[in-house]
Structure 1
Amino acid sequence: MWMYLGLLAALFLGLHNLCKKHAVQGNEAFPVLLGTVSSGFIFIAVFYVLSIFYPEYAESKGYNFQVITWQQHGFIIIKSAIMAASWLLAYQALKHLPITIVTPIRSAGPFFTFIGAIVIYRESPNFYQWIGFFLIIFSVMLYSKIGKKEGIIFKRNKWIFAIIGATFLGASSGLYDKFLIQNLSLNPQTLQFWFCLYTILILLIILSITWFPYAEKRKAFKFRWTIIAVGILLQAADYFYFKALQDPDALIMLLSAIKRSQIIIAVVVGGFIFKEHNKRKKLVPLAGIMIGVFLILYS
């Protein structure tokens, strides 16, 4: 069951990435990020308010919120800091790079999760899993060669390093999620609510230094409906992902790889919507990544 929940998370993540690309195009990345997180928080906060006034109804529908300790709050703040840094890097990179380059690099996330799962959680990969993960990494390397034809030199482009950093931090957060869900016994909605709240506070501090004081930057910001869509789609994806992690048999290395099937939407659909170049050539490494994901599922 947890694998199907992972596929649902991948579906919503793919749609989320398309909306995110539209939201940041020619726009200020940091306020867009604040807007997306805030819209997601408002979405989940509606259920939080309902659980306060109608606790029995909320519990019957499965969205009861836990009362957590200060120590648990501290652990959630750490996750918020990790993901805030990851998103800040990712949004800036997405603003300056094609979605058909950014998304496949993000697909290397399972490799970092794979290493962490072995070292931290002692998850044991088999022969097919090894092949699948290294096939994903090799395919991402092929994307770098295609990127050069679009004027993107991976070694000299700072946004490439930004998206790699974002990918590493995102993978670290994925490993941390398993600890929060299974070791601290946090349910998905509780984790989502407090995580969004603390992330908003962190972003407000950053924007009060980098964006709010500058009138020109504020005027350059354009509100788009996709900002709201990004927040809601991300909450839906996270909910199914966290539900999958609640299963004691769930393997974080496999869940991380399954989520990367979102690239079908980003590369195939996104490539046509945003009219990006070399779409056919990008299908070759895309196939490599999908075969890698299949090998992991097959194993």
Structure 2
Amino acid sequence: MWMYLGLLAALFLGLHNLCKKHAVRGNEVFPVLLGTVGSGFTFLLPFYIASVYFPEYAKSNAIYIHSMAWELHGFIFIKSAIMAASWILAYQALKHLPITIVTPIRSAGPFFTFIGAILIYQERPNTLQWVGFFLIIFSVMLYSKIGKKEGINFKKDKWILAIIAATFLGASSGLYDKFLIQYLNIAPLTLIFWFCFYVILILLVILSITWFPYAEKRKAFKFRWSIPAVGILLQAADYFYFKALQDPEALIMLLSAIKRSQILIAVLVGGVIFKEQNKRKKLVPLAGIMLGVFFILYS
């Protein structure tokens, strides 16, 4: 069951990435990020109000957000700080790079998660899982060659370095999620709500320095329908992902790889919508990544 939940998370993540590319075009990254996270938080706020004033109703409808000790809030704040840094780097890179380059690089996340799952949680991959893992990494390397044809030097371009750093931080957060869900027993909806709350606080501090004081930047900002859509789609993806992690048999290394199937939407649909270059050539490493995911699932 947890694998199917992982595939649902991948579907919503793919749609989320398309909306995110639309949201950041010609816009400042920080206010867009605040708008997306704020939209997701606003979507969840009625659940929190119901949990406070109508707890029995919230519990019976599976929308209950638990109260927690301050210590648990501290653990969630750490996750929020990690993901805020990852998103800031990823949004900046997405603004300057094609989605058909950014998304496959993000698909290298399972590499870091794979290593962490072995060292930290003692998850043990079998032969097919190793084959799938290295096939994904090799396919991502092929994308770097295609990227050079679009004027992107993977060794010197700072936005490539930004998306790689964002991928590493995102993978670290994924490993941390297993600790929060399986070891601290934080409910998925509770984790998502407070995670959004603390990310908003972090972004407000950054924006108070970099954006709010400057009238020209505020006037240049363009609100788009895709901004709230990003937030809501991300909450849906996180919910199914965390529900999958609740299963004691769920392996974080496999869930991380399953989520990479989101690139089907990003490369095939996104490449057409945003009219990006070399779409056919990108299908070759795309097929390699999907084959790698298949090996991991089949194993």
Range class of TM-score, shorter chain: over 0.9
The yes-or-no answer on 1:267 pairing with 2:247 is no
| Shift, 1:51, TM fit | 2.1
Counterpart residue identity of residue 278, structure 1: N
**Cα distance in 1, alignment partners of residues 116 and 197 from structure 2:** 27
Counterpart residue identity of residue 208, structure 2: S
**Cα distance in 1, alignment partners of residues 200 and 27 from structure 2:** 19
Q: TM-score, normalised by structure 1?
A: 0.99
| Shift, 1:56, TM fit | 1.5
Query: What's 2:140 paired with?
Result: 140
Query: What's 2:112 paired with?
Result: 112
Q: Counterparts in 2 of 1:74-113, with a 5 A limit?
A: 74-113=74-113
Query: What's 1:45 paired with?
Result: 45
Query: What's 2:221 paired with?
Result: 221
**Cα distance in 2, alignment partners of residues 55 and 215 from structure 1:** 43
**Cα distance in 2, alignment partners of residues 67 and 211 from structure 1:** 34
Runs of 4+ aligned structure 1 residues displaced above 6 Å come to none
Query: What's 1:298 paired with?
Result: 298
Gaps of 5+ in 2: none
Q: TM-score, normalised by structure 2?
A: 0.99
Query: What's 2:211 paired with?
Result: 211
Coordinate RMSD, CA, aligned: 0.6
Does the 8 A contact of 2:5 with 2:243 survive in 1?
A: yes
Counterpart residue identity of residue 74, structure 2: G
Counterpart residue identity of residue 114, structure 1: F
Counterpart residue identity of residue 196, structure 2: C
**Cα distance in 2, alignment partners of residues 164 and 31 from structure 1:** 22
Post-superposition Cα deviations, 1:19-56, rounded to whole Å, max 9, x if no partner, equal 00000011111100000000000011111112222222
**Cα distance in 2, alignment partners of residues 237 and 103 from structure 1:** 16
Post-superposition Cα deviations, 1:230-280, rounded to whole Å, max 9, x if no partner, equal 000000000000000000000000000000100000000000000001000
SS at match of 2:121: coil
**Cα distance in 2, alignment partners of residues 220 and 193 from structure 1:** 30
Post-superposition Cα deviations, 1:45-92, rounded to whole Å, max 9, x if no partner, equal 111112222222211111211111111000000000000000000000
**Cα distance in 2, alignment partners of residues 45 and 192 from structure 1:** 11
Query: What's 1:236 paired with?
Result: 236
Counterpart residue identity of residue 247, structure 1: D
Query: What's 2:189 paired with?
Result: 189
SS at match of 1:5: helix
The yes-or-no answer on 1:66 pairing with 2:66 is yes
**Cα distance in 2, alignment partners of residues 133 and 210 from structure 1:** 40
SS at match of 2:122: coil
How many residues in Structure 1 have an aligned counterpart in Structure 2? 299
The yes-or-no answer on 1:131 pairing with 2:131 is yes
Counterpart residue identity of residue 265, structure 2: I
